[in-house]
Amino acid sequence: MFKPHEFAPKIGVSVKTLQRWDAAGKLPAKRTLSGHRFYTEDDLLIAQGLKPIEEKRKVIVYCRVSSSGQKPELKNQVIAMETFCLNRGLAVDDWVSEIGGGLNFKRKKFLSIMMSMLKGEISTIVVAHKDRMCRFAFEFIQELATSVGCEIVVANQESLSPQQELVEDLMAIIHCFSCRLYGLRNYSKEIKDHLKKTIDNPTQSMKKFDKKEIQC
């Protein structure tokens, strides 16, 4: 990787020219997590006319925790992912951090990434662990990504996936199904009451039953 002042002499231009090319999209620079620009060997080949400029597709790092109280863990996750990407030689275009439950598929930043991915604007999505993307249906999302030529890279850093989050997600699932079962019990009781009334007074009960809408 080359810093702008190292890269400019190699292609015979000034650093200011590189800045203009970057802003115009003629030769976009890569950026570190802290926002510093850098260039790669591929950029050198492009600038020398030895490699055609390909349509730019982004490399995204997505980091997530479930609650605001886990902001320190989110910071550690981002730092660990920066080290991972540097070691893998991945030039990251966007770093996306989000606070939201892994069972919530309506996370704004998550949805934005999914839409960009489906449009073919993203080449790679990097996550610390697959449950940072979502608790369930990761394989489905991975299949969608593959269908549009996007790779999801999982660092598999278990230490960045707090067990407390998993417990909270499991409690949410239990609560959801408990509410549904409770609703089904109420519905079942209402049906039984109507059946009993129908047996006791068939004509009158059926008229009432026809007029009443039972909701599950």
Active site residues: 66
Beta bridge partners of 153: 126
CA distances from 175 to 178, 181, 184, 198 (A): 5, 10, 14, 35
Token pair, residue 97, equals: 């951090």
- On the 0-12 / 13-18 / 19+ scale of CB atoms within 10 A, 197 is middle
Size (the chain), residues:
216
Region of 156 on the Ramachandran plot (φ > 0 left; ψ -120 to 50 alpha; else beta)? left
User: 187 φ, ψ to 5°?
Assistant: -65, -40
Say which residues have a Cβ less than 8 Å from residue 82's Cβ, sequence separation at least 6.
Answer: 32, 33, 61
| Strand arrangement, sheet containing 94-99 | 94-99, 58-65, 122-127, 151-154
How far apart (Å, rounded) are the C-alpha atoms in residues 29 and 32? Answer: 10
